[in-house]
Amino acid sequence: MKKARIAAIAALVSVTACEGLKEAMTAHVDVVARAEKQELSVQRFADMMASSPQLPLVKPVAEQVADFWVNYQLLAKAAAVGDSMTDTVMIDKAMASVYESSKVRMWVTQVQQGFKVDTSNLEAAYNEGTQLLSARHILFALAAAQQGSGSDSVMRRAESVRRQINDKNFAAMAKQHGSDGTKDTGGDLGVFPPQSMVAEFSRAVAALKPGEIGPIVRTDFGYHIVRRNTFAEARQQFTAMYTQAMQQEASAKFADGLETANRVEIKPNAAKVVKDVAADLDAHKNDRTVVATSTAGNFTAGDVARYINSMPRRDEARGQIQSAPDSVFPNFVKGLVLNEVLLKQADSAGIKLDTAEVAQARRAFTGLVQNAWAGLRVTPALLADSATTPAERERLAAARVDAYMDRLLKGQEAGVVEVPPPLAEALREKYDASIKPAGIARALEVAQKTRATADSSRAASQPKSAVPMPDTGAIKR
């Protein structure tokens, strides 16, 4: 009995092992991607990549091309079966990140409206001159060769004009003698933050009382005669810019307080994890590795993947993230975590999108589908003109996508048909698709060999130089 049981188990293990071996031996290394019934073979993908000389044969680029192919083929499938992707539940799920961003913006706007800026004594703030300055000047410019050493003749001319200037004729003298773009407005520089000008100039303006004309100021640009504007002259622009600056300062304090109050902590592994996530979003979408914590809860690698996946130029962002220095990631992750905190606050405050905004977002989503179909030439109407059965329409739509990809990679298309993240997410959710890393790696090897062979053939076909080369063996020492 015992021997029989062991034999049965052995047989089962043998069958399982054979099945596992069979699966391993056919692990689809000959396939780069699948989209419903369509397969992108290694050879086909390698030929696509190799045929485009300007396309770098590197993994990130290959992944992006494969991603485009999958999205386009899924759009073709939807068109072939007449699926306009109008299901509102599906759309709302795909547009969740867009809805969340809108809610956060609404909440931040509401918070900012509560910031109070003290405008009771604007003139005192203006006279203090620490936040903003306002001035007119007359510039006697130096030539490029003179900027280091200066010019006695230019300085004497500036001094001569300075002796003639007073408060009443400053604007007229600026129009007559100025040498920069402000001369036409009487030398008026308007209102500006001190740090926006070279230090010598800002210090000279700040040292003047409103309405006072100062001594000549030397900067790398030349020699300046400077007059600080009065509050009455600068009031309108100063009031607007001062109010904006104070609101920005209040916003910065709010952000700092948000971080402290919600105990935001970035983990030491953040840079590595974020780069790993950017390298392979699908592999990390359910990754629970914690990169930060806050009162909103753990912020994980999966959350990072969700944010990156929702970025408008996702693939470009992924490349930038992978090449960025580690020092930028604490602030990058902090920004994502604070967005989560703000979203939680918005929900607590009852912030909701109105029905009109949701309806507009849904229309925009279905518009993406129609635009993509038109760009790929796979609209249901176009397919129906040439194919009668569903199977024929699917084959035709898939063929048109392949033809479009060929033209695109050869630079024969005016532009790329964009498939924004929400649409791509909805397509992957509704239809079956996958990209095989092993297939991409194999295709890159094949493409590199194909391109190397083509390059060698082109080089060999070039005519030989008509200039005789010296016989180095005949050179005697």
Query: What domains can be seen in the chain, in order of their start residue?
Result: 93-112+261-348 (no CATH), 122-239 (3.10.50.40)
- Predicted confidence at residue 149, as pLDDT, reads 67
The secondary structure of 369-436 as a DSSP string is HHHHHHHHT--HHHHHHH--SHHHHHHHHHHHHHHHHHHHHTT-SSS-----HHHHHHHHHHS-EEE-
Q: Phi and psi (nearest 5°) for 135?
A: -160, 165
Q: What is the pLDDT of residue 148?
A: 66
- What pLDDT, on the 0 to 100 scale, is given for residue 52? 86
The whole-number pLDDT of residue 433 equals 95
Distance CA(170)–CA(136), nearest Å, equals 8
pTM of structure: 0.66
Alpha-carbon gap, residue 196 to 132, rounded angstroms: 10
Instruction: Kindly state the helix (H) or strand (E) to which residue 185 belongs, with its residue range.
Output: none
Q: What pLDDT was estimated at residue 44?
A: 95
How many Å apart are CA 152 and CA 163, to the nearest integer? 17
Amino acid identity, position 5: R
Q: How far apart are CA 55 and CA 296, in angstroms?
A: 43
Task: Round to whole Å and give the CA distance between 218 and 224.
Answer: 6
Mean pLDDT by 10 residues, the chain (477 residues): 37 36 47 95 94 88 93 97 94 92 94 85 94 96 76 92 95 95 94 96 96 95 96 96 90 89 96 94 92 95 93 85 95 95 95 93 95 96 92 96 94 89 92 94 94 73 51 39
Q: What is the pLDDT of residue 89?
A: 94
Distance (Å, rounded) from C-alpha 10 to C-alpha 20?
15
Chain-centroid distance, C-alpha 306: 15
Alpha-helix residue ranges (DSSP H) falling in 165-230: 170-177, 199-206
